[in-house]
Amino acid sequence: MSCLFDALAGLVLLAWLVLFFARGYFWRTDQRLPVLGAVSTNKADACATRFPAVTAIVPARNEAEGIGPCVSALLRQNYPGDLRVIVVDDQSQDETALLAKEAAEKLDASDRLQVLSGKALPEAWTGKVWAMHQGTLAADAVSLLWFTDADIVHGPDVLTRLVDQQQRGNRALVSLMVMLSCRSFWERLLIPPFIFFFQMLYPFPWVNDARRKLAGAAGGCMLLRRDLLMQAGGLAAMRGALIDDCTLAALLKIQGPIWLGLGTESYSLRDYRFFGEIWRMVARSAYVQLEFSPWRLLAATLGMLFLYAVPVILLIAGCWEQQWIGLALSVLTLALMFRAYLPSVRLYAQNSLWVLTLPLAAMFYTLMTLDSARRHYLGKGGAWKGRHYDQSGEKS
């Protein structure tokens, strides 16, 4: 029994050693946009090749709460080139369109904003991708498209830094994982782990390596080359995608290198004050990520239990049964786990003691994933703004 206990503790430690040292050092949170040197904000001095025309496209469905600050931040960008904004009002039932226009009027920038009334959702399209597609068509022949969510506020230099990063590497796509709200207890418990798990699933250094096939993006902020998007078949090529960002990244990485990083100067206005709000956010798409596969679900569940629950169980059992070798291995495993999680906690300026809550957060995410599968088989799977889609992406 003692040998089995020690062997299991050793296997878990080995798994964490592999994650820590052999998965692109995903946990470092060091993939950031470079700081710009002196860049002229005078449009007359802007080099058209370095700072080409950009159209920001904002798919918006019932976004009255955040659309004003979002549009204002876009129109205030210190971008040396030309920047226009298209808000695609996807048949909102609130004042999304009006508030977007008012935000532009307050800045005397109505000439740079177009509010597009979205058409009815066709069969086989998901809502957000359809809204993005309509915005792309309305953007004419602009060089770069900037997709951003309607509840996100970008710092004034974000676009210039995005374009600079895109131009330096002639990249097909540059994307930022923006800062999420992290103020309430549940946000502090579950938002940093969300970033940690996303980086584990899509190690940013691997995504950013043109030699690797792995592709990922964050849908709240994606700057891309329009010509390469068209070469890849446009958004029609991914019309049924329920996870639009990573699907788009995979489509574009075939066309050229991509880059994914953390954006500390852009933040989401959407807060999650209650546990149920975070649960629903994850459950609506977690099973989509597993490609609706029961086998992947089983593997993910067992993997999460093995990595996060077993070390805690072994630690408790080792103390109780005085299994000193297994206990020591479990302590090393937990120390490695907490060390890997620490940069994500610091990214959100949280007390370092929050690292101790990662196993608990992991169990919650496991339950959310299981619930996502349950919802799918009940016909309430992937969703965007009140629309639910089946496995094929068709609206129900």
Greater model confidence, 290 or 5: 290
Measure the CA–CA gap between 81 and 53, rounded to whole angstroms.
Answer: 6
> Hey, where are the domains in the chain?
2-25+288-380, 31-274
Pick the CATH number of 31-274 from 3.40.50.2300, 3.30.450.90, 3.40.50.720, 3.90.550.10: 3.90.550.10
pLDDT digits (tens, 9 = 90+) for 90-125: 999 999 999 999 999 999 999 999 999 999 999 989
pLDDT tops 70 at residue 381: no
Q: Position of tokens 């296997």?
A: 11
Q: What is the DSSP letter of 389?
A: B
What's the burial of 276, exposed, middle or buried (CB within 10 Å: 0-12/13-18/19+)? exposed
Asked whether the beta carbons of 53 and 81 are under 8 A apart, the reply is yes
Q: What confidence tier does 46 reach under pLDDT thresholds 50, 70, 90?
A: low
Which sign, positive or negative, has the C-alpha torsion 75, 77, 78, 82?
A: negative
pLDDT digits (tens, 9 = 90+) for 385-395: 555 555 444 44
Please report the pLDDT score of residue 40 as a whole number.
47
Q: What is the mean pLDDT of residues 297-301?
A: 97
Greater model confidence, 230 or 388: 230
pLDDT digits (tens, 9 = 90+) for 134-159: 999 999 878 899 999 999 999 999 99
pLDDT tops 80 at residue 279: yes
CA atoms lying within 13 Å on the CB side of residue 205: 10
Measure the CA–CA gap between 242 and 246, rounded to whole angstroms.
Answer: 10
| Rounded alpha-carbon distances, angstroms, from residue 69 to 76, 139, 302 | 10, 22, 43
Please report the pLDDT score of residue 324 as a whole number.
74
What is the CA 7 to chain-centroid distance, rounded? 37
Here the tokens at position 115 are: 């509010």
Q: What is the pTM of this model?
A: 0.91
Measure the CA–CA gap between 386 and 241, rounded to whole angstroms.
Answer: 16
Please report the pLDDT score of residue 175 as a whole number.
98
Q: What is the mean pLDDT of residues 82-89?
A: 96
Give percent above pLDDT 90 in the chain. 80
| Sheet with 54-60, edge to edge strand ranges | 113-117, 83-89, 54-60, 144-148, 221-225, 173-179, 258-268, 152-154
Q: What is the mean pLDDT of residues 273-277?
A: 92
pLDDT digits (tens, 9 = 90+) for 304-332: 999 999 999 999 887 766 677 878 999 99
Closest to 87 measured CA to CA, from 102, 100, 72 = 100
- Identity (one letter) of the amino acid at 51? F
Please report the pLDDT score of residue 88 as a whole number.
96
Here the tokens at position 365 are: 């995410």
Q: What confidence tier does 284 reach under pLDDT thresholds 50, 70, 90?
A: confident
293 phi and psi, to 5 degrees? Answer: -100, 120
Mean pLDDT for the chain overall: 91
DSSP letters for 190-207: HHHHHHHHHHHHS-HHHH
